[in-house]
Structure 1
Amino acid sequence: MKKVLLTGISGYIGLHCAAELLQQGYAVKGSVRSLSKAEKLTDTITKFVDPKGKLEFCELDLLKDDAWDEAVSDCDFVMHVASPFFSKIPKDENELIKPAVEGTQRALKAAHKAGIKRVVLTSSMVAMLGDVKGDENIDQNSWTEVNAKNATAYLKSKTLAEKSAWEFVKEKDMELVTIHPGPVYGPSLSDDLSGESMTLFKRIMTGELKQMIHASINMSDVRDVAKIHVLALENEQATGQRLIVATERAHSYQEITELLKTKGYEKVSTKVAPNFMVKFLANFNSEMKGMMPYVGKKYEGSVMASKNIFNWEPIPFDKMVLDTAKSVENVLNSEC
């Protein structure tokens, strides 16, 4: 039985990766910042798949060397999902960049030392946005220019972390595959709505969010993202690939609200904020400032490589949106 070190198992994507790995017969060692989370995470995962004794946990910190070598010592693969993310602009961009880059390096160094052949790394489409001016057709060869005017700390963190990974494996006997989702939605495996994806849908569905930004990009279903992470572990064609895992075309945030409105979510607002207003508010609001790489812009990524390598079809946009809404609705109803 092959074992995978899965970093960031407690996150939105991490939980789905854990469930998918277990369903496909892998043993999972999930990293957490505190082992106090282990029991709750086991209970959450067990609701969707029986671990059958193949789930364990270890304690790792992206900013500390402690325990990384021990964590990978009995594993066959590393799936490095853990990376900090929040939409607000931090006062110090290194709050995002440092753990992203250093965590990636720690995962790769430990894997190499343990003789692990392949690492699958969660990157993002935000590492592929060119000069961050929009109307960009992006593919496996696209990179975000980190010195671009609108390159935020998050864009820099994902781009620099991925670049450091490719640089690391260049002269090593190691294989790297990077997975690039767009904004990730889809049902949550937990009842935690505090993450960026679930929070957005909660705010839309409760009517708290009165206007959406005008922006379009390929969006990703978390179930697809987890599936491709797992398939990439042993698919030879995936070796050395940067794989976009998302819808086949770009979608706007207004499409989300309009779909929800037509399906009976009455509190949803379908209004779109004028670009000039968002840009003005960005001068005073760190969350608005974090949206500036996308406001008034369209980024369209090609998923052909992923489709061909894995004989995969993305989950339809409508299903992704409605399944996300249902997941959020279930949690909100249980809190009543």
Structure 2
Amino acid sequence: MTDRVLLTGISGFLGGHVALELLGAGYTVRGSVRNLSRTDKVRATLQRAGADISRLEFVALDLERDKGWDEAMEGVRFLQHTASPFVLQMPPDKNELIRPAVEGTERALNAALAANVERVVLTSSMAAIAYGHDKSRTAPFTANDWTNLEGRGVTPYTESKTLAERRAWEIMRAAGRETDLATINPSGIFGPLLDEDPGTSATLVQRLMNGSVPAAPRIPLVAIDVRDVARAHLAAMISPEAGGHRFPMGERTMFFAEVAAILRQAFPAHARKIPRRELADWMVRIYGLFDKDVRSNLGELGVLKRLDSSAATRLLGRELIPADASFIATGESLIAHGLV
């Protein structure tokens, strides 16, 4: 009998890639979905990506409900908790993001501890590390940094990821098992899509390619490839040295105009729709009055953030996939699925 891993959020962009890594490494994967009606689609998606789905199971779990968590942990050796709400547009009530993120983490980790699961890997974010700080900071953010929730520009999403990760460490510390938790803290995740759902990060590339962004806002993107993030989840689960540590992951920081230039060169047939000009900040603020996605990210105008990913590269045993390749892989997927 192979070791079983409970993977929450298996139907998501990252969750699907983590499932591929786990199945490829020989694990039995018990994936959680909110509704079991989605399981056929997830099976077909993973099989199409080359996975052996004979070791794939499903369970219905809700981040905001107690039902099923203890049963889902039966026979599980490891927990991979990737499920958490992620949006571009901030909701009117910030608790729409904070409550499921924090309560879902509490339910997952408490059930894992009750079942004596060996290692927990939590998908956190650079949102829990690099926000609310002085905008003049030029030094890379490290695993020792935490987002300052009292600082400027903190969004409900940033708050949700920070509070959820802090709660995870509190739970494990109180149980005397802090070294059995590892967190992966990626930046914006790009790379090949597994299905026709662009998710959140790929929507940024989609908008650059489909003509809906007339000019590029001077908003920086910190990018990481989904394949690296998924492999880091597996490595953090099986590496004894990974326990008790956070792993920031961001390969490169660039402005939207730089990303647009990469896409224009890679996809000449779509170049006409990809913006060539960069909007002045004052114009972006005006544009944000009419575009909710832009309005939700105005606090990032011109603010360059970099992540120290050295711990992640040591964990993986190699350099990270270049951001250029990640954006191109995203574009290729969007075209293949007819999304641009």
TM range, normalised to the smaller chain? Answer: over 0.9
CA shift for structure 1 position 19:
0.9
User: Secondary structure at 2:120's aligned position in 1?
Assistant: strand
Correspondence for 1:239: 243
**Which aligned pairs between 1:1-336 and structure 2 lie closer than 5 A?**
1-136=2-137, 137-174=140-177, 175-193=180-198, 195-247=199-251, 249-263=252-266, 264=268, 265-266=270-271, 267-282=273-288, 286-332=292-338
Q: Structure 1: any 5+ residue segments left out of the alignment? A: none
Cα distance per residue 1:151-201 (max 9 Å; x no partner): 0000000000000111111132431111011111101011223x2123222
Does the aligned pair in 1 maintain the 2:250–2:306 contact within 8 Å?
A: no
> What is the deviation of 1:130?
4.2
8 Å CA contact 1:3, 1:27 repeated in 2: yes
Range 143-152 or range 126-135, more displaced: 126-135
Specify the code of the residue in structure 2 equivalent to 1:305. Answer: A
Deviates more, 1:270-279 or 1:178-187: 270-279
Q: Does the aligned pair in 2 maintain the 1:83–1:100 contact within 8 Å?
A: yes
Contact 1:177 1:242 in 2 (8 A): yes
Distance 2:51 2:60 in 1: 22
String of CA shifts for 1:123-162, please: whole Å, max 9, x gaps: 1111111424434420001111112221000000000000
Q: Distance in 2 between matches of 1:107 and 1:12?
A: 20
How far apart, in 1, do the equivalents of 2:163 and 2:301 lie? 23
Counterpart amino acid of 1:33?
Answer: R
1:218-241 per-position Cα deviation (integer Å, ceiling 9, x unaligned): 311111111101111010121111
Aligned length: 332
**3-state SS of the aligned residue for 1:192?**
coil
Q: Distance in 1 between matches of 2:144 and 2:77?
A: 29
1:240 maps to a residue whose letter is: G
CA contact (8 A) 1:22 1:49 kept: no
Is the contact between residue 228 and residue 245 of structure 1 (CA under 8 Å) also seen in structure 2? no
Normalised by the size of structure 1, how large is the TM-score?
0.94
Shift of 1:64: 0.4
Q: Is the 8 A contact 2:34 2:62 kept in 1?
A: yes
Identity of aligned residues (%): 37
Give the whole-Å Cα distance in 2 for the aligned partners of 1:283 and 1:145. 27
Q: How big is each residue's C-alpha offset from its partner over 1:45-65, in whole Å with a ceiling of 9 and x where there is no partner?
A: 001123252001000000000
> TM-score with structure 2 length normalisation?
0.93
